[in-house]
Structure 1
Amino acid sequence: MTPPPIKDLPVGFQVQIDQRCVQRGDLRNLIGGSPLRVLKLSDAALGMTSDDGRIEVCDAGTRSLARTLLEAGIAQPRPMRGPGEDDVTVVIPVRDNQSGVDRLIAALPGLKVIVVDDGSPVPVTVPGSDLVQLIRFDVNAGPAAARNAGFDAATTGFVAFLDSDTVPRGDWLMMLLSHFSDPAVGIVAPRIVGFGDDSKDTVAAYANRYSSLDMGPREGLVRPGTSLAYVPSAAMVVRREAFSRFDESLRVAEDVDLCWRTNADGWTVRYDPIAHVGHDHRESLGALLDRRRFYGTGAAELASRHGALAAPVMMSVPIAAAVLALLSRTKIGLLITTLLSGWIFTRIRKPLNGVPQRDVIAARNVGRALGFGVLQIWSAALRHYWPVSLVCLLVSGRFRRWFIQAAVAEAAVMWLRSRMDEPASPMVDPIGFSVIHRLDDFAYGLGLWQGAVSRRDFSALRPVIKS
C-alpha cells in the first residue's frame, strides 16, 4: 500500500478547461468527464478563470477550483517545470534483443540507465559507462520482475520504464516530468507510435496506426471503466513513493493491474500524447495476431484481481434494455427504446436546470449513450463472445444476418472514428482495415477464452449491468 498523495497544487500550476465541456463559449456551465458531470461555476469561480478557460493556482480558492476540475476530467493540466533529468533513472527490461538495447541506450544520452537482462540465452552487453548499469537474471522471470529489479536498483525519485523495442522522440522526458509538478500524479505515460514503414503493406500500416499500445491523440486522466482505462508499461514514468510494484506473478496485463491499483490508492495516472515514444510494432499478420491473443489471456487474470473492472460490457439497466430493444429491429423493440430514451432524457435533463439549450444537450447525450451501448454490444458479440456467436450462426439465419451486418457496421464506425480523430494521418484502406480488424478481434477473443479456460474462471466474460 503506497502512502496517500498530497493534493495541494503548487503556486503557478495552471489548468485549462477542456473546450469540449464548454457550451457555446459559456464557462459557467461545464458538462463532461467520465462519468458525465455537470459543474456550474459560481461568480467567484468565474472570476478566477480567464476568458479562454485558463486557471492559475495562486491561493486557496484557485487551488481548490483547479483540483476539482482536474479530478472531474473537465480540465487538463498545463503544468509548470517538474523534476529534472538527474532525478530519473531509465529501466530497460530485455530478453534476446541486443540490437534494441544498443539502439535505445544510444537514444538516452546523459541519462542514468539500468538494463535488466531477463535470462537471455546469449547474455546482453552494455557499453562501459558510469551511467549504464547491467543486472542479469540467470533464469527468465518475466518483464514485471525485471522492471521491479531495475526499480529497486535505482536511487532516483522517478523511474522511467522503456521496453527494448522502443525509441523515445524529442523532449519526451521533460514533457512527462512536468506532470509531476502536481504532487498527486503517480504515473505518466506518453503516446506510443510505430516507427515502421507504413508503405510496406496493409498489415504494417494497420500495426502502426492501430496498435493496442497506442492510446490515441487525446490527453486525459487514466481511470478504469473509461476510454482511457490504462497506459502500457512499454513506456511510462513513475513516482517512487506512488509505485506499488508490478505483480510478478503476471506475464501479461501487469501494466493494467498497476494502473488500477495506483488509481485505487488515490494517485493520479495521466496520459500525455504530446510526448512520443516510437515502438517497433510486429508487422507480420501472424505475429500481430499472436500478440493480440496473448494480450487477451490477461483478461482472466485482471478479473480475478479486480472483479467488475475487467467486464467486457458495462451498462446501466435502462441503457442495456434500450439498446437490446433497438437491436431487435422490431416495432415493439423500437417502442421500448423510444420510451426508455424519453425516461433517460428526463433524468439527464433534470440536473441541467438553468443551462442554456438543456434539451439539446440532454438529447445529444442520450444519443451518445445509445450509440456507445450499440458499439459495446457489437464488440462483445464480435470480440469477447465470438465462440458463442459462432454457435448461434450455425443455428439461426436471423442471427447470421445480424452478425454480418454488425461486423460491417462496427468496422465502418471504428474506421470513421479514427479518421475523425486524426484526419491528417495516413489511413489504412477501409476494406483492409475491416478484414484485419475482424481478425484482430478473433485473436483477442481466442486469448480471452484461453485464459478463462486455463484458470477455470469465466468472470472475465461476465457483463456488468448496473442499476
Structure 2
Amino acid sequence: MDGDTLLGGEPFQLVRLRPESLARVRAWNDGEPVGDGGALARDLVMANLAQPIPPPLHAPVTTVIPVRNREVLARPATDELIIVDDASERPIPGALRRDVRGGAAAARNDGLRAARHEIVALLDSDTVPEPGWLEPLLAHFNDPEVDIVAPRIVPFEPKAPGPLSAYEARRSPLDRGEHAARVVPYGRVPFVPGAALLVRRHVRFDETFTRGGEDVELVWRTPYVRYEPASRVAHAHRTDPKAWLARRVYYGRTAAQVAKRHPGKARPLHVSPWTTAAYAALLVNQPKAALAITATATTLLARDVPPITAAELAALGSLRSGRVVANALSRHWWPLALLHPRARLAFLKSPLALLDDLAYGTGVWLGCAQHRTLDPLLPAKGWKLVRRRL
C-alpha cells in the first residue's frame, strides 16, 4: 500500500482508494472489525488484496475418508465419521461399501450424500490432522459464500530421512505455502489438493475424473475457495524413488483432462507480455532489445505509479519471473527446450528438481496425447494491469 493506492492482488491490479475507503482500510489495519464496510472488504478479499480473519464458528462436522486396499491412518474425533470403501479386495468392516471401484471422486461423493451434517471434512486415508486443525478451517464458514477451505499439507516426520524426504518437505506440490489466500488459477495459490478439504455438504466432485485431477477441477469450478495454512494436516509423502517418479508423471497426466473442462487455466508461462518479450529477446541473443523492452514497460507503468515503484515492478518483476520462464522450459516444454542452447540453461537445477520437472512434463505430454488437446502446452495469456477505484 502506497498512500491511497493498493498494488497487487489477482488479477494484478492498481486500486485507488476513495477517502472513505482509505479511512476504513487504515482502521482495519489498526484492528477494528469490518462493521458496515462489508462491500469494500468483500471486494478486497475477492481480489486477494486482503485476507479475512473470521471469528470462531461452532458447528457439527462429518468426516469422510475414502479408502481402497490400504490402512486408514487417522480417524478424527468429529461428530460423525464415514469411511467409504471403494471396492477394496478385502471389505473394510463398518465402512460404506462401494461394490464397483469409482475412484476418489465417486467415493467422496458417496460420503457427502450420506453425511448428516452441513459441513464435511474430506480426508485421504494417508493423512493425519495435527491438533487444532479444524477450528481455523471451520471459522471461514461464517461467510455464506465460502464452499471449500483447504489446510496446509505438511509431511510426516520421515522414519528414515533421505534426499527424497528432504526434497518433499521443501517442494511437495501438496504444500501450498505459509500464506493464506483465495484460491485462483494463476494466483499465489492456484489450486489446493484433495488430500484434505473442509466443504459444504452440497459440493460434488466430477465422477468422470477417475484417474486424478478431480480436486483441481472442483476448486476451479467453485466460485470461492480459501486456503488456510493455520490449519495443518500431515501427509505420508511418497519417498520410494520409483513411486515418487510415477506420482509426478501422474500429476502431469491430469492436466489435460482438467484443461478440457477449464480451457486456458492449466497453461504455463503466466507472465506479462513485456516479460515474455524480454525473455524472448534474450533467447535470440538480443540483450539490448530486452533492456529496451523493460525500459519501455517501466515508462508506461510510471504513468500510474511512482517511478521507483514502476522500476521495481518492471525490472525486478521480470527478474523474478525468470523462475516461471525456466519452469515452463524445463517442465511443459522440455522436449523443445533441449533443442535450444540458451533454453538449456533452464535445466541447471538440482538433480531431484530436474527429475521432478521432467517427470511432470512427460505426464503432461502423455495426457495431451490421451485426451487429444494441446491446451496445457500452450503459453498462458499474459496478464495486464487492471485499474480500479474503490
Same fold (TM over 0.5): yes
CA contact (8 A) 1:198 1:204 kept: no
Structure 2 unaligned segments of length 5 or more: list them: 385-390
Give, in angstroms, the shift of residue 161 of structure 1.
Answer: 0.5
Give, in angstroms, the shift of residue 197 of structure 1.
Answer: 1.7
In structure 1, the residue matched to 2:27 is: 50
- Counterpart CA distance in 1 for 2:46 and 2:187 is 14
Share of identical aligned residues, percent?
Answer: 39
Equivalent residue letter for 1:104: A
CA contact (8 A) 2:179 2:229 kept: yes
Query: TM-score, length-normalised on structure 1?
Result: 0.77
CA contact (8 A) 2:256 2:368 kept: yes
CA contact (8 A) 2:297 2:314 kept: yes
In structure 2, the residue matched to 1:94 is: 67
In structure 2, the residue matched to 1:435 is: 351
* RMSD between aligned residues: 2.0
- Counterpart CA distance in 1 for 2:311 and 2:78 is 55
Equivalent residue letter for 2:79: L
Residue 217 of structure 1 aligns to a residue in which SS?
A: coil
Give, in angstroms, the shift of residue 206 of structure 1.
Answer: 1.1
In structure 1, the residue matched to 2:373 is: 457
Equivalence map 1:230-309=2 (5 Å): 230-241=191-202, 243=203, 245-250=204-209, 251-263=211-223, 268-309=224-265
- Counterpart CA distance in 1 for 2:34 and 2:167 is 43
In structure 2, the residue matched to 1:70 is: 45
Equivalence map 1:55-204=2 (5 Å): 55-59=32-36, 62-84=37-59, 86=60, 88-98=61-71, 101=72, 103-105=73-75, 108-126=76-94, 134-197=95-158, 200-204=161-165
Classify 1:46/1:226 alpha carbon distance in 2 versus 1 (closer, same or farther; 3 Å).
closer
Query: TM-score, length-normalised on structure 2?
Result: 0.92
- Counterpart CA distance in 1 for 2:343 and 2:302 is 35
Classify 1:338/1:65 alpha carbon distance in 2 versus 1 (closer, same or farther; 3 Å).
same
Aligned partner (choices 447, 457, 462) of residue 363 of structure 2: 447
Give, in angstroms, the shift of residue 322 of structure 1.
Answer: 1.6
Equivalent residue letter for 1:44: E
Q: Cα deviation per residue 1:156-206 (whole Å; 9 max; x = unaligned)?
A: 111111000000011111110001112221110000000132762111111
In structure 1, the residue matched to 2:287 is: 334
Give, in angstroms, the shift of residue 347 of structure 1.
Answer: 2.9
Equivalent residue letter for 1:278: A
Classify 1:274/1:237 alpha carbon distance in 2 versus 1 (closer, same or farther; 3 Å).
same
In structure 2, the residue matched to 1:6 is: none
Equivalent residue letter for 1:342: A
- Counterpart CA distance in 2 for 1:46 and 1:450 is 51
CA contact (8 A) 1:29 1:39 kept: yes
Structure 2 residue 9 is matched with structure 1 residue 30: no
Equivalence map 1:399-418=2 (5 Å): 399-400=340-341, 402-408=342-348, 411=349
In structure 1, the residue matched to 2:318 is: 370
CA contact (8 A) 1:83 1:181 kept: no
CA contact (8 A) 1:92 1:162 kept: yes
Equivalent residue letter for 2:67: V
Residue 50 of structure 1 aligns to a residue in which SS?
A: helix
Provide runs of 4+ in structure 1 moved above 6 Å: none
- Counterpart CA distance in 2 for 1:198 and 1:212 is 21
Residue 66 of structure 2 aligns to a residue in which SS?
A: strand
**Paired positions, count:** 381
- Counterpart CA distance in 1 for 2:288 and 2:69 is 60
More helix by share: 1
Structure 2 residue 329 is matched with structure 1 residue 381: yes
- Counterpart CA distance in 2 for 1:162 and 1:110 is 12
- Counterpart CA distance in 2 for 1:316 and 1:39 is 18
- Counterpart CA distance in 1 for 2:32 and 2:301 is 28
CA contact (8 A) 2:28 2:34 kept: no
- Counterpart CA distance in 1 for 2:133 and 2:139 is 10
CA contact (8 A) 2:105 2:207 kept: yes
Give, in angstroms, the shift of residue 304 of structure 1.
Answer: 1.1
Higher relative contact order (CA 8 A, sep 6+): 2
